[in-house]
Amino acid sequence: MALPAIQQELSIQQHNLSWIFNSYVIVFGGLLLLGGRLADLFGPRRIFLLGFLILTLASLLAGVASSEGILNTARALQGAGAALIAPAAMTLLMQLFGARPQELGKAMGFWGASAAAGGSAGVFLGGVFTQYLSWEWVFLVNVPVGLLVLLFSRSILPAGQRSRGSVDVPGALTVTLGLSSLVYGIVQAERGLTGLTLGALVLGVVLLLIFILLQASRRDPLMPLTLFSRPNLAIGNTINVLLAGSWIPLWFFLNLYLQQVLGLSALNSGLALLPMTLAIMALMVGVTGNLIGRFGVKMNLTVGLVLLAGALLLLARAPVDGNFLIDVLPATLIAALGMSLAYIPATILSVSGAKPEEGGLASGVVNTTYQVGSAVGLALIGLIAQANTTTGPEGLLSGFQAAFISAAVLAGVGALVTLMVGGQKRLAQART
């Protein structure tokens, strides 16, 4: 919601806007596995609080940022804090309710509903803050919330269990720096294959190869490679990457279309996206689980990805003088249905083959691949959009249309991958 306002005040070029998103996501995705490992070793509550301390301070820095570089640095620090919070919170949830299946189901329902509700609130409040206060409050609002969490968590949350082992710091550094370098090279490629761009791409590939070699040789690796030999896990994570690579660009470029082409204010743009987020919340909490139980993972995942691809193609047809009720709302509601049908089945598929003692690690891998898919997908599709963008509203629309079509292709490939492996009995039978 705040991107156009941030772009104008900090004089950020159009092709660099995605870094406000990617700076957060790359660090978040790269450090998720390390965050989970630290929660196991030092206790989930301690890491949870450390994560909120980092997130709160980083949000303050983002709120007072006076340049693009400072803002992106703050966003990266926010990602580091979130990478500690997310796995620690899930670990606490599993330790509190894991031995009581009925209560665990209810707890996971609240977990899912809170995520969807948070997305809905963020879309709306982002527009309100930007419209009536300033874009800085999109970040500053985290500060009082973070202080409340730090103040009360120690008295409310248990310390949690701790385990023994070592921390794979080289693994965390190589995967995070490798992903950062790779995405930077992809984003910079729009300016041509310069020495800097090629160097970043090569460095990213080399660092990721080193990460794989480290994981194969270390006694306590950050991500044991044997995990990917489990049934469905590799397939599920591949689909997860494609799903994220199509869903995040939908949000990113739809918001820009609403504000930069249709001329909606930040508040009205937030209100325009609210039906989609509310639909996702209602469908995920009240409908998706029953459909998976009745039709299985394969059917829901395939239909969800096809619907998402169709919604993106509808958005690609939106004209420069588009009407929200005709050109945007129907497509976003179809996208909400598609995402609601696809996201949970993709997650189930990714962890269904893991052993019970690997559940936490498998969940960490799922979160990581989703964030990587988000960052790399947005970078690649942003490159395609920039190549098709010219001047004026029509020129911007041309770039946005290319982005929507490219995202639809990724969702379609995900559906094809699901269909190609659909003959495997264990895939078809993976259910909640």
Residue pLDDT, tens place only, 12-47: 877 777 788 778 877 887 787 788 778 888 888 999
Is residue 95's pLDDT more than 80? no
Residue predicted with more confidence, 327 or 370: 327
Q: Structure tokens of 352?
A: 């269904």
pLDDT band for position 432 (cuts 50, 70, 90)? very low
Q: What is the pLDDT of residue 146?
A: 95
Domain ranges of the chain: 1-168, 169-217, 227-432
**Residue pair 163/91 in contact by the 8 Å Cβ criterion:** no
**Residue pair 244/374 in contact by the 8 Å Cβ criterion:** yes
pLDDT band for position 51 (cuts 50, 70, 90)? very high
Residue predicted with more confidence, 150 or 116: 150
What distance lies between CA 397 and its chain's CA centroid? 25
Q: Structure tokens of 114?
A: 């809170």
Q: What is the pLDDT of residue 382?
A: 85
Q: What is the pLDDT of residue 317?
A: 93
417: three-class secondary structure by DSSP: helix
Q: Nearest Cα to 31, choosing from 252, 217, 225, 223?
A: 223
Is residue 261's pLDDT more than 80? yes
Q: How confident is the model over 90-100, as a mean pLDDT?
A: 74
Q: How confident is the model over 376-403, as a mean pLDDT?
A: 87
Q: What is the pLDDT of residue 405?
A: 96
Is residue 166's pLDDT more than 80? no
Q: What is the pLDDT of residues 53-84, one digit of tens each?
A: 999 999 999 999 988 889 999 999 999 999 89
Q: Which fold has domain 227-432?
A: Growth Hormone; Chain: A; (1.20.1250)
Q: What is the pLDDT of residues 291-328, one digit of tens each?
A: 877 887 888 899 999 999 999 999 999 999 888 899 99
- DSSP state letter for 424: -
- 18-42 vs 68-97: helix crossing angle, rounded to 10: 40
Q: What is the pLDDT of residues 186-204, one digit of tens each?
A: 766 666 678 888 898 899 8
Is residue 206's pLDDT more than 90? yes
**Residue pair 136/63 in contact by the 8 Å Cβ criterion:** yes
CATH class of 1-168: mainly alpha
Q: What is the pLDDT of residue 190?
A: 62
Common-topology check for domains 1-168 and 227-432: yes
What is the rounded distance in angstroms from the CA atom of residue 65 to the CA atom of residue 317? Answer: 37
E strand or H helix that includes residue 5? helix 3-10
Per DSSP, helices labelled H in 233-328 are: 233-256, 266-286, 288-316
Q: Nearest Cα to 381, choosing from 411, 402, 412?
A: 402
